[in-house]
A = this chain, B = another copy of it.
Amino acid sequence: MTKQKKLQTVLNVPTTNLPRVVVIGGGFAGLHFIKRLDTSRYQIVLFDRNNFHTFIPLLYQVATAGLEAPNIVGPIRKALHGKKNFHFRMLAVHGIDPEAKTVATAGGSLGYDHLVIATGTQTNFFGNAEIAKHSFPLKTLTDARQLRNHLFQSLERLELTSDMEERQRLLTFLVVGGGPTGVEMAGALAELRNHVLKRDYPDSDISLMRIIIAEGSDKLLTAFSEASSEEARTALESMGVELIFSQFVEHYDGSVARFKDGREIPCATLIWGAGVEGIVVPGLAKAAVAKSQYQVDEYLKIGGYDDVYALGDVAQRTTEKWPQGHPGVAQVAIQMGEQLAKNINALAEGGTIKAFKYFDKGNMATIGRNRAVADMGNGQHFSGFPAWIAWVVVHLYYLIGFRNRTFTLFSWVGNYFTYSRAIRLVMEPTLEEKLTEVPVTDPKV
Protein backbone atom coordinates (compact mmCIF):
# COMPACT_ATOMS: atom_id res chain seq x y z
CA MET A 1 0.00 0.00 0.00
CA THR A 2 2.69 2.45 0.78
CA LYS A 3 6.07 3.36 -0.61
CA GLN A 4 7.19 4.86 2.67
CA LYS A 5 10.75 4.09 3.63
CA LYS A 6 10.08 1.82 6.56
CA LEU A 7 13.67 1.47 7.65
CA GLN A 8 14.42 5.18 8.06
CA THR A 9 12.67 8.09 9.60
CA VAL A 10 12.92 10.95 7.18
CA LEU A 11 12.41 14.45 8.52
CA ASN A 12 11.50 12.85 11.82
CA VAL A 13 8.14 11.78 10.42
CA PRO A 14 7.09 8.49 11.92
CA THR A 15 6.37 5.55 9.64
CA THR A 16 2.93 4.10 10.26
CA ASN A 17 0.49 1.72 8.60
CA LEU A 18 -1.70 4.59 7.51
CA PRO A 19 -1.50 5.95 3.99
CA ARG A 20 0.30 9.28 3.96
CA VAL A 21 -1.12 12.45 2.49
CA VAL A 22 1.46 15.14 1.82
CA VAL A 23 0.12 18.68 1.60
CA ILE A 24 2.23 21.49 0.18
CA GLY A 25 1.02 24.85 1.45
CA GLY A 26 -0.77 25.88 4.63
CA GLY A 27 -3.08 28.60 3.29
CA PHE A 28 -6.86 28.61 3.13
CA ALA A 29 -7.07 25.51 0.91
CA GLY A 30 -4.42 23.43 2.64
CA LEU A 31 -5.63 24.16 6.16
CA HIS A 32 -9.28 23.52 5.43
CA PHE A 33 -8.35 20.28 3.68
CA ILE A 34 -6.36 19.14 6.69
CA LYS A 35 -9.03 20.07 9.18
CA ARG A 36 -11.58 18.03 7.30
CA LEU A 37 -9.42 14.99 6.58
CA ASP A 38 -9.99 11.95 8.80
CA THR A 39 -6.62 11.32 10.43
CA SER A 40 -7.67 8.05 11.99
CA ARG A 41 -7.38 6.80 8.40
CA TYR A 42 -4.56 8.91 7.04
CA GLN A 43 -1.29 10.41 8.20
CA ILE A 44 -0.81 14.01 7.08
CA VAL A 45 2.47 15.80 6.56
CA LEU A 46 2.17 19.51 5.81
CA PHE A 47 5.03 21.53 4.35
CA ASP A 48 5.11 25.31 4.33
CA ARG A 49 8.06 27.68 4.19
CA ASN A 50 6.47 29.69 7.00
CA ASN A 51 5.11 28.35 10.27
CA PHE A 52 2.15 30.67 10.06
CA HIS A 53 -0.48 31.49 7.51
CA THR A 54 -1.67 34.88 6.48
CA PHE A 55 -5.18 36.25 6.15
CA ILE A 56 -4.42 37.74 2.76
CA PRO A 57 -7.66 39.73 2.30
CA LEU A 58 -6.49 42.08 5.04
CA LEU A 59 -2.93 42.66 3.89
CA TYR A 60 -3.85 46.11 2.63
CA GLN A 61 -4.83 47.03 6.19
CA VAL A 62 -1.36 46.17 7.43
CA ALA A 63 0.16 48.09 4.54
CA THR A 64 -1.68 51.24 5.60
CA ALA A 65 -1.20 50.77 9.34
CA GLY A 66 -4.90 50.11 9.88
CA LEU A 67 -4.09 46.78 11.50
CA GLU A 68 -0.92 45.30 12.79
CA ALA A 69 0.76 42.31 11.23
CA PRO A 70 0.11 39.99 14.18
CA ASN A 71 -3.62 40.62 13.83
CA ILE A 72 -3.75 38.84 10.50
CA VAL A 73 -1.51 35.85 10.91
CA GLY A 74 -2.13 32.58 12.66
CA PRO A 75 0.42 30.00 13.72
CA ILE A 76 -0.13 26.78 11.77
CA ARG A 77 0.71 24.60 14.73
CA LYS A 78 -1.84 26.34 16.87
CA ALA A 79 -4.55 26.09 14.23
CA LEU A 80 -4.06 22.34 14.13
CA HIS A 81 -3.52 21.62 17.82
CA GLY A 82 -4.60 18.16 18.75
CA LYS A 83 -4.97 16.85 15.19
CA LYS A 84 -3.89 13.22 15.35
CA ASN A 85 -1.32 11.82 12.94
CA PHE A 86 -0.56 15.33 11.73
CA HIS A 87 3.01 16.53 11.28
CA PHE A 88 4.11 20.01 10.26
CA ARG A 89 7.53 20.66 8.79
CA MET A 90 8.64 24.21 8.09
CA LEU A 91 10.25 23.55 4.74
CA ALA A 92 9.69 24.49 1.14
CA VAL A 93 9.18 21.66 -1.33
CA HIS A 94 11.65 21.94 -4.19
CA GLY A 95 10.35 19.22 -6.43
CA ILE A 96 8.05 16.27 -6.98
CA ASP A 97 8.96 12.85 -8.31
CA PRO A 98 5.63 11.40 -9.40
CA GLU A 99 7.20 8.09 -10.45
CA ALA A 100 8.81 7.45 -7.09
CA LYS A 101 5.93 9.27 -5.38
CA THR A 102 8.19 11.47 -3.32
CA VAL A 103 8.58 15.18 -2.62
CA ALA A 104 12.02 16.76 -2.24
CA THR A 105 12.94 19.24 0.51
CA ALA A 106 16.15 20.61 2.00
CA GLY A 107 15.75 18.00 4.70
CA GLY A 108 15.39 15.05 2.39
CA SER A 109 12.77 13.33 0.25
CA LEU A 110 9.53 12.04 1.72
CA GLY A 111 7.23 9.47 0.18
CA TYR A 112 3.51 10.03 -0.29
CA ASP A 113 0.40 8.06 -1.10
CA HIS A 114 -1.58 11.16 -2.01
CA LEU A 115 -0.17 14.57 -2.81
CA VAL A 116 -2.10 17.82 -2.46
CA ILE A 117 -0.58 20.93 -3.98
CA ALA A 118 -2.00 24.11 -2.42
CA THR A 119 0.83 26.55 -2.91
CA GLY A 120 -1.19 29.58 -3.92
CA THR A 121 0.04 32.46 -6.03
CA GLN A 122 2.82 34.98 -6.13
CA THR A 123 3.09 38.39 -7.72
CA ASN A 124 3.36 38.46 -11.50
CA PHE A 125 5.47 41.29 -12.87
CA PHE A 126 5.02 40.07 -16.46
CA GLY A 127 8.75 39.83 -16.92
CA ASN A 128 9.41 43.48 -16.12
CA ALA A 129 12.49 43.28 -13.92
CA GLU A 130 12.69 47.04 -13.35
CA ILE A 131 9.16 47.19 -12.01
CA ALA A 132 9.82 44.07 -9.94
CA LYS A 133 12.74 45.85 -8.37
CA HIS A 134 11.19 49.21 -7.57
CA SER A 135 7.50 48.61 -7.05
CA PHE A 136 5.67 47.35 -3.99
CA PRO A 137 3.51 44.26 -4.44
CA LEU A 138 0.96 43.07 -1.88
CA LYS A 139 0.80 39.29 -1.71
CA THR A 140 2.61 38.42 1.50
CA LEU A 141 3.02 39.75 5.00
CA THR A 142 6.53 40.86 4.14
CA ASP A 143 5.15 42.82 1.18
CA ALA A 144 2.67 44.57 3.45
CA ARG A 145 5.26 45.49 6.03
CA GLN A 146 7.75 46.73 3.49
CA LEU A 147 5.08 48.87 1.86
CA ARG A 148 4.04 50.33 5.19
CA ASN A 149 7.64 51.04 6.13
CA HIS A 150 8.20 52.74 2.80
CA LEU A 151 5.05 54.80 3.17
CA PHE A 152 6.14 56.22 6.49
CA GLN A 153 9.76 56.59 5.52
CA SER A 154 8.50 58.70 2.62
CA LEU A 155 6.55 60.90 5.01
CA GLU A 156 9.52 61.28 7.34
CA ARG A 157 11.68 62.27 4.37
CA LEU A 158 9.01 64.72 3.37
CA GLU A 159 9.44 66.50 6.69
CA LEU A 160 13.13 67.01 5.98
CA THR A 161 12.95 68.54 2.52
CA SER A 162 11.80 71.89 1.23
CA ASP A 163 12.32 71.11 -2.48
CA MET A 164 8.81 71.35 -3.94
CA GLU A 165 9.30 68.79 -6.70
CA GLU A 166 10.73 66.25 -4.30
CA ARG A 167 7.92 66.88 -1.83
CA GLN A 168 5.29 66.24 -4.50
CA ARG A 169 7.05 63.09 -5.62
CA LEU A 170 7.14 61.77 -2.07
CA LEU A 171 3.44 62.54 -1.71
CA THR A 172 2.40 60.77 -4.92
CA PHE A 173 1.17 57.17 -4.69
CA LEU A 174 0.47 55.28 -7.90
CA VAL A 175 -1.56 52.07 -7.57
CA VAL A 176 -1.37 49.86 -10.63
CA GLY A 177 -4.39 47.61 -11.01
CA GLY A 178 -8.06 48.41 -10.43
CA GLY A 179 -9.09 45.07 -8.95
CA PRO A 180 -9.98 44.57 -5.27
CA THR A 181 -6.37 44.99 -4.15
CA GLY A 182 -5.94 48.31 -5.92
CA VAL A 183 -9.35 49.64 -4.91
CA GLU A 184 -8.90 48.76 -1.27
CA MET A 185 -5.36 50.12 -1.08
CA ALA A 186 -6.33 53.39 -2.75
CA GLY A 187 -9.32 53.79 -0.45
CA ALA A 188 -7.20 53.18 2.62
CA LEU A 189 -4.56 55.66 1.45
CA ALA A 190 -7.25 58.25 0.84
CA GLU A 191 -8.52 57.75 4.38
CA LEU A 192 -5.02 58.33 5.71
CA ARG A 193 -4.74 61.54 3.76
CA ASN A 194 -8.20 62.83 4.53
CA HIS A 195 -8.39 61.97 8.22
CA VAL A 196 -5.16 61.00 9.87
CA LEU A 197 -1.89 62.31 8.54
CA LYS A 198 -2.32 66.05 9.03
CA ARG A 199 -2.06 65.72 12.80
CA ASP A 200 1.10 63.67 12.63
CA TYR A 201 2.87 65.78 10.01
CA PRO A 202 2.00 69.36 10.86
CA ASP A 203 5.05 70.69 9.03
CA SER A 204 3.93 69.28 5.69
CA ASP A 205 1.00 70.01 3.39
CA ILE A 206 -0.66 66.59 3.39
CA SER A 207 -3.49 67.82 1.17
CA LEU A 208 -1.02 67.73 -1.71
CA MET A 209 -0.94 63.94 -1.44
CA ARG A 210 -2.04 62.30 -4.70
CA ILE A 211 -3.48 58.81 -4.91
CA ILE A 212 -3.86 57.46 -8.42
CA ILE A 213 -5.18 54.13 -9.72
CA ALA A 214 -3.99 53.10 -13.17
CA GLU A 215 -6.11 50.31 -14.65
CA GLY A 216 -5.56 48.55 -17.96
CA SER A 217 -9.25 47.94 -18.72
CA ASP A 218 -11.93 50.60 -18.88
CA LYS A 219 -13.37 50.06 -15.40
CA LEU A 220 -12.60 49.07 -11.83
CA LEU A 221 -13.39 45.66 -10.31
CA THR A 222 -13.81 43.88 -13.65
CA ALA A 223 -14.77 40.66 -11.89
CA PHE A 224 -17.65 42.41 -10.13
CA SER A 225 -21.05 43.55 -11.42
CA GLU A 226 -21.43 46.75 -13.44
CA ALA A 227 -23.22 48.33 -10.52
CA SER A 228 -20.40 47.54 -8.10
CA SER A 229 -17.83 48.72 -10.58
CA GLU A 230 -19.62 52.03 -10.99
CA GLU A 231 -20.19 52.50 -7.26
CA ALA A 232 -16.52 51.94 -6.59
CA ARG A 233 -15.59 54.57 -9.12
CA THR A 234 -17.96 57.15 -7.69
CA ALA A 235 -16.91 56.46 -4.13
CA LEU A 236 -13.18 56.68 -4.84
CA GLU A 237 -13.57 59.87 -6.83
CA SER A 238 -15.53 61.44 -4.01
CA MET A 239 -12.63 60.57 -1.69
CA GLY A 240 -10.19 62.34 -3.97
CA VAL A 241 -8.63 59.35 -5.71
CA GLU A 242 -7.62 59.93 -9.34
CA LEU A 243 -8.52 57.19 -11.83
CA ILE A 244 -6.71 56.48 -15.08
CA PHE A 245 -8.23 53.82 -17.36
CA SER A 246 -6.96 51.90 -20.39
CA GLN A 247 -3.39 52.65 -19.42
CA PHE A 248 -0.38 50.45 -18.81
CA VAL A 249 2.73 51.28 -16.80
CA GLU A 250 5.79 50.14 -18.71
CA HIS A 251 8.67 51.64 -16.76
CA TYR A 252 9.33 52.57 -13.19
CA ASP A 253 12.75 53.36 -11.80
CA GLY A 254 11.69 54.18 -8.27
CA SER A 255 11.25 57.82 -9.14
CA VAL A 256 9.14 58.29 -12.27
CA ALA A 257 6.50 55.96 -13.73
CA ARG A 258 6.14 55.98 -17.50
CA PHE A 259 3.04 54.74 -19.27
CA LYS A 260 2.77 53.06 -22.65
CA ASP A 261 1.48 56.27 -24.17
CA GLY A 262 4.49 58.17 -22.92
CA ARG A 263 2.79 59.94 -20.03
CA GLU A 264 4.97 60.25 -16.93
CA ILE A 265 4.08 60.53 -13.26
CA PRO A 266 6.84 61.20 -10.71
CA CYS A 267 6.04 59.12 -7.67
CA ALA A 268 8.04 57.69 -4.79
CA THR A 269 5.65 54.78 -4.35
CA LEU A 270 4.25 52.44 -6.99
CA ILE A 271 2.02 49.70 -5.66
CA TRP A 272 1.75 46.73 -7.99
CA GLY A 273 -1.64 45.06 -7.77
CA ALA A 274 -1.81 44.11 -11.39
CA GLY A 275 -1.12 40.41 -11.61
CA VAL A 276 -0.58 37.10 -9.89
CA GLU A 277 0.67 33.72 -11.04
CA GLY A 278 0.48 30.27 -9.50
CA ILE A 279 3.44 28.89 -7.57
CA VAL A 280 4.26 25.72 -9.48
CA VAL A 281 6.44 23.04 -7.88
CA PRO A 282 8.78 21.47 -10.46
CA GLY A 283 8.38 17.81 -11.31
CA LEU A 284 5.07 17.12 -13.00
CA ALA A 285 4.55 16.88 -16.73
CA LYS A 286 4.41 20.11 -18.72
CA ALA A 287 0.92 19.22 -19.85
CA ALA A 288 -0.29 19.39 -16.26
CA VAL A 289 0.34 23.13 -16.10
CA ALA A 290 -1.07 26.03 -18.09
CA LYS A 291 -0.27 29.67 -17.34
CA SER A 292 1.29 28.67 -14.02
CA GLN A 293 -1.75 26.77 -12.83
CA TYR A 294 -2.34 23.05 -12.49
CA GLN A 295 -5.18 21.78 -14.65
CA VAL A 296 -7.60 19.79 -12.50
CA ASP A 297 -10.74 17.78 -13.24
CA GLU A 298 -14.03 17.84 -11.33
CA TYR A 299 -12.45 15.84 -8.52
CA LEU A 300 -9.59 18.36 -8.27
CA LYS A 301 -7.19 15.73 -9.55
CA ILE A 302 -4.37 16.84 -11.83
CA GLY A 303 -4.77 15.34 -15.27
CA GLY A 304 -2.39 12.45 -15.97
CA TYR A 305 -1.91 11.43 -12.34
CA ASP A 306 -3.85 9.11 -10.08
CA ASP A 307 -2.89 10.60 -6.79
CA VAL A 308 -1.87 14.22 -7.20
CA TYR A 309 -4.36 17.03 -6.56
CA ALA A 310 -4.31 20.81 -6.64
CA LEU A 311 -6.42 23.28 -4.64
CA GLY A 312 -7.04 26.98 -4.44
CA ASP A 313 -5.37 29.71 -6.45
CA VAL A 314 -2.78 27.38 -8.00
CA ALA A 315 -5.48 25.10 -9.42
CA GLN A 316 -7.38 25.80 -12.60
CA ARG A 317 -10.76 24.16 -12.78
CA THR A 318 -12.60 25.30 -15.91
CA THR A 319 -16.34 24.75 -16.28
CA GLU A 320 -19.11 26.22 -18.39
CA LYS A 321 -19.75 28.79 -15.71
CA TRP A 322 -16.05 29.50 -15.20
CA PRO A 323 -14.38 29.20 -18.58
CA GLN A 324 -11.23 30.94 -17.35
CA GLY A 325 -11.10 28.81 -14.22
CA HIS A 326 -12.53 29.65 -10.84
CA PRO A 327 -11.72 33.02 -9.26
CA GLY A 328 -8.66 33.17 -7.01
CA VAL A 329 -10.61 33.98 -3.88
CA ALA A 330 -10.61 32.53 -0.39
CA GLN A 331 -14.05 30.94 -0.73
CA VAL A 332 -12.98 28.84 -3.68
CA ALA A 333 -9.89 27.65 -1.83
CA ILE A 334 -11.86 26.77 1.29
CA GLN A 335 -14.57 24.87 -0.58
CA MET A 336 -12.05 23.00 -2.71
CA GLY A 337 -10.14 21.98 0.40
CA GLU A 338 -13.24 20.69 2.11
CA GLN A 339 -14.58 18.81 -0.89
CA LEU A 340 -11.30 17.08 -1.58
CA ALA A 341 -10.98 16.01 2.06
CA LYS A 342 -14.48 14.56 2.00
CA ASN A 343 -13.60 12.66 -1.16
CA ILE A 344 -10.37 11.27 0.21
CA ASN A 345 -12.16 10.25 3.41
CA ALA A 346 -14.72 8.51 1.19
CA LEU A 347 -11.98 6.59 -0.59
CA ALA A 348 -10.86 5.11 2.72
CA GLU A 349 -14.41 4.21 3.70
CA GLY A 350 -15.46 2.82 0.36
CA GLY A 351 -17.95 5.66 -0.03
CA THR A 352 -18.71 7.73 -3.10
CA ILE A 353 -16.78 10.76 -4.22
CA LYS A 354 -18.44 13.99 -5.38
CA ALA A 355 -17.52 16.47 -8.05
CA PHE A 356 -16.48 19.94 -6.89
CA LYS A 357 -19.15 22.56 -7.33
CA TYR A 358 -18.41 26.11 -6.26
CA PHE A 359 -21.12 27.73 -4.21
CA ASP A 360 -20.56 31.36 -5.15
CA LYS A 361 -21.35 33.48 -2.12
CA GLY A 362 -20.43 36.66 -3.93
CA ASN A 363 -17.73 39.28 -3.82
CA MET A 364 -16.98 42.26 -1.65
CA ALA A 365 -14.51 45.08 -1.62
CA THR A 366 -14.16 47.91 0.88
CA ILE A 367 -13.68 51.49 -0.11
CA GLY A 368 -12.32 53.43 2.81
CA ARG A 369 -13.51 52.91 6.30
CA ASN A 370 -17.25 52.88 6.00
CA ARG A 371 -18.16 51.95 2.46
CA ALA A 372 -18.02 48.83 0.38
CA VAL A 373 -19.47 47.19 -2.69
CA ALA A 374 -20.97 43.73 -2.49
CA ASP A 375 -22.22 41.33 -5.15
CA MET A 376 -24.20 38.45 -3.75
CA GLY A 377 -24.16 34.97 -5.22
CA ASN A 378 -27.73 35.37 -6.41
CA GLY A 379 -26.92 38.34 -8.61
CA GLN A 380 -28.02 41.03 -6.21
CA HIS A 381 -25.80 43.96 -5.44
CA PHE A 382 -25.62 46.45 -2.61
CA SER A 383 -23.17 49.09 -1.48
CA GLY A 384 -22.41 51.89 0.91
CA PHE A 385 -22.44 51.53 4.64
CA PRO A 386 -24.64 48.40 4.78
CA ALA A 387 -22.23 46.65 2.44
CA TRP A 388 -19.37 47.68 4.67
CA ILE A 389 -21.06 46.23 7.73
CA ALA A 390 -21.57 42.99 5.82
CA TRP A 391 -17.91 43.02 4.86
CA VAL A 392 -16.85 43.48 8.46
CA VAL A 393 -19.10 40.66 9.68
CA VAL A 394 -17.91 38.24 7.02
CA HIS A 395 -14.26 39.01 7.57
CA LEU A 396 -14.55 38.86 11.32
CA TYR A 397 -16.20 35.49 11.02
CA TYR A 398 -13.41 34.13 8.88
CA LEU A 399 -10.67 35.83 10.82
CA ILE A 400 -11.89 34.40 14.08
CA GLY A 401 -12.21 30.94 12.66
CA PHE A 402 -8.82 31.43 11.09
CA ARG A 403 -7.16 32.43 14.27
CA ASN A 404 -9.27 30.30 16.56
CA ARG A 405 -9.27 32.95 19.18
CA THR A 406 -12.44 34.59 20.31
CA PHE A 407 -10.59 37.22 22.20
CA THR A 408 -9.01 38.48 19.04
CA LEU A 409 -12.42 39.72 18.02
CA PHE A 410 -12.27 42.32 20.73
CA SER A 411 -8.83 43.64 20.05
CA TRP A 412 -9.22 43.43 16.28
CA VAL A 413 -12.54 45.21 16.36
CA GLY A 414 -11.15 47.79 18.71
CA ASN A 415 -8.16 48.39 16.50
CA TYR A 416 -10.22 48.55 13.36
CA PHE A 417 -13.05 50.75 14.48
CA THR A 418 -11.31 53.44 16.41
CA TYR A 419 -9.98 55.85 13.84
CA SER A 420 -7.12 57.65 15.44
CA ARG A 421 -6.18 54.81 17.66
CA ALA A 422 -6.16 52.20 14.99
CA ILE A 423 -3.90 54.06 12.67
CA ARG A 424 -0.60 53.35 14.20
CA LEU A 425 2.05 55.25 12.42
CA VAL A 426 4.93 53.17 13.53
CA MET A 427 7.78 52.37 11.30
CA GLU A 428 9.69 49.28 12.16
CA PRO A 429 13.42 49.68 12.25
CA THR A 430 14.00 48.40 8.74
CA LEU A 431 16.81 50.84 8.10
CA GLU A 432 18.83 49.39 10.87
CA GLU A 433 17.71 45.82 11.02
CA LYS A 434 20.57 43.55 10.27
CA LEU A 435 19.00 40.24 9.67
CA THR A 436 21.09 37.21 10.24
CA GLU A 437 20.32 34.73 7.49
CA VAL A 438 19.56 31.42 9.11
CA PRO A 439 19.12 28.92 6.36
CA VAL A 440 17.68 25.54 7.19
CA THR A 441 20.49 23.18 6.28
CA ASP A 442 20.26 19.47 5.70
CA PRO A 443 19.76 18.00 9.15
CA LYS A 444 21.39 14.70 9.97
CA VAL A 445 18.86 11.96 9.42
Chain A interfacial positions (CB closer than 8 Å to B) = 9, 11-12, 14, 49-52, 68-70, 73-75, 77-78, 81-82, 87-91, 107, 140-142, 146, 149-150, 152-153, 156-157, 159-163, 166, 199-201, 203, 405, 407-408, 410-411, 414-415, 418, 421, 424-433, 435-440, 443-445
Contact = CB atoms under 8 A, between A and B. Distances in A.
A440 B161 CA distance: 11
A200 B160 contact: no
B435 A146 contact: yes
Contacts of A432: 49, 142
A76 to B, nearest CB: 9
B415 A411 contact: yes
Contacts of A9: 162
Contacts of A140: 429
A242 B157 CA distance: 49
A385 to B, nearest CB: 23
Copy total for this chain: 2
Contact of A68 (B70, B77, B91, B199): B70
A147 to B, nearest CB: 11
A12 B411 contact: no
Contacts of A433: 142, 146, 435
A403 to B, nearest CB: 9
Nearest to A150: B438
Contact of A81 (B49, B68, B200, B429): B200
Contacts of A70: 68-70, 424, 426
Nearest to A65: B75
B427 A52 contact: yes
Contacts of A150: 436, 438
Given A78-B200, A140-B429, A408-B421, 17 more contacts: A51-B156, A52-B426, A69-B428, A77-B425, A141-B428, A142-B429, A146-B435, A150-B436, A157-B440, A161-B445, A166-B443, A166-B444, A410-B411, A410-B414, A411-B411, A411-B414, A411-B415
Nearest to A154: B438
Most chain B beta carbons < 10 A, residue from A146, A149, A429: A429
A160 B107 contact: yes
Contacts of A427: 50-52, 90
A440 B407 contact: no
A203 B161 contact: no
5 contacts: A50-B427, A68-B70, A77-B200, A77-B425, A142-B429
Contacts of A157: 440, 443
A200 B199 CA distance: 44
A429 B75 contact: no
A121 to B, nearest CB: 16
A438 B431 contact: yes
B435 A421 contact: no
Contact of A429 (B50, B87, B418): B50
Contacts of A410: 410-411, 414
A6 B83 CA distance: 70
A438 B405 CA distance: 37
A353 to B, nearest CB: 31
Contacts of A431: 49, 437-440
Contact of A91 (B152, B160, B421): B160
A175 to B, nearest CB: 19
A124 to B, nearest CB: 18
